[in-house]
Every structure is written in C-alpha cells, then in structure tokens.
C-alpha cells in the first residue's frame, strides 16, 4: 500500500467512527502519512509494524503529537520501523510533554535503537512520567516492563 493510498484511507476512516483500529503493518507508510493518520480523531489502535518510518517518520510523529493529534490513541505499534536511539529520545520527549494522553501500549521492538545500552534507562524514566504506559521493546516482554517475561 503506497503512502498516497494510506492518506486516502485515513481520510475515508474519518467518516467512519466505528473503525477505531488500523493495521497497516508492512505497508509503505512513511513520514508523509503520519499527519493524515493523526487527523483520525477516533483512532484508538494503530499498527505501523515494519513500515519505513525511520527518523523522518518520528519527526512527523512528534510534530503530530505536539499538535494534539493522536489524542485518543491507546495502542501504537512502531516495531521494526528503523527507529534509532535519538528517535526514541525525541518520541519519549513528545510523550512526556503530554502527547497521545490516552496511550496505554507502545510496542517498539525490533528497531536499531532497541540495541543501544541506553534504552533501558530511557524506558525506565519514561515510565516515571507515564505510569499507565506499557512499553514493549524487547522480545518476550509480556508486561511492558522491559524485563523478564511473565512466568506461565
């Protein structure tokens, strides 16, 4: 699915408030799609897993968050989107500043920034600011705590 199609899809979803979840994993979603997706006020769940966001996409996401978009978003998956540690720093700053206030789940593993030794401390600090936000960034993290998986 091309960015142009995703932008048209976001416009169509605006007219259908019963559609609160959008999974465009593996699509060609990029930074140009983020403002259109953010303009869907009733969007509660968004999966961009494996999309080509990169740093430009995170810049667009942070700008959208600062503009009050994604206010009702509860679950965001940005795993495998080529996000670096610097990008996580920007994203966490935008979230600390009040972006996406309803966000409860952030799935962000399989990104280059997840391999950096500084990320666990950043995640821990993020959790002090957003206590209800579960951040899943390592394999087998079922609690959003960035630690050991829950025993079965």
- Give the pLDDT of residue 138: 85
**98-135 residues labelled b (16+ CB within 10 A) or e (exposed):** ebbeebebbbbbbbebbeeeebeebbeebbeebeebbb
Q: Where are the alpha helices (DSSP H) in 1-152?
A: 3-14, 34-38, 54-66, 85-96, 119-129
What's the average model confidence in pLDDT over 71-99?
98
Residue 148 has pLDDT above 80, yes or no: no
Structure confidence at residue 83 (pLDDT): 98
Could you tell me which residues come within 8 angstroms of residue 72 by beta carbon, excluding any fewer than 6 positions away? 41, 42, 43, 44, 102
Task: Indicate if the pLDDT at residue 139 is higher than 90.
Answer: no
What is the per-residue pLDDT for 109?
A: 96
Kindly report the length of the chain: 152
Mean pLDDT of 29-40: 97
Kindly list the distances between the CA atom of residue 19 and the CA atoms of 10, 13, 40, 62, in Å, as whole numbers in the listed order: 11, 7, 10, 24
| Structure confidence at residue 26 (pLDDT) | 97
CA 141 – CA 137 distance, rounded (Å): 7
> In the predicted model, is pLDDT for residue 147 greater than 60?
no
b/e for 22-32, b at 16 or more Cβ within 10 A? bebeebebbbe
pTM assigned to the model: 0.91
Q: pLDDT averaged over the chain?
A: 93
Over residues 16-31, the mean pLDDT reads 97
Residue pair 31/60 in contact by the 8 Å Cβ criterion: yes
- For the stretch 90-134, pLDDT in tens is 999 999 999 999 999 999 999 999 999 999 999 999 999 999 999
């Amino acid at each position: 699915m091309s960015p142009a199609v995703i932008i048209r899809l976001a416009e169509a979803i605006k007219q259908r408030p019963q559609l609160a979840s959008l999974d465009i994993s593996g699509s060609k979603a990029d930074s140009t799609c983020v403002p259109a997706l953010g303009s869907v006020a009733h969007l509660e769940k968004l999966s961009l897993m494996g999309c080509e966001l990169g740093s430009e996409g995170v810049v667009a996401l942070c700008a959208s968050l600062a503009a009050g978009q994604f206010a009702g978003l509860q679950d965001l998956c940005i795993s495998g989107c080529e996000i670096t540690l610097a990008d996580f720093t920007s994203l966490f700053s935008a979230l600390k500043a009040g972006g996406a206030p309803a966000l409860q789940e952030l799935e962000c593993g399989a990104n280059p920034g997840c391999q950096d030794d500084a990320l666990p401390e950043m995640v821990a600090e993020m959790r002090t600011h957003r206590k209800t936000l579960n951040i899943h960034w390592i394999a087998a993290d079922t609690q959003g705590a960035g630690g050991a998986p829950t025993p079965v």
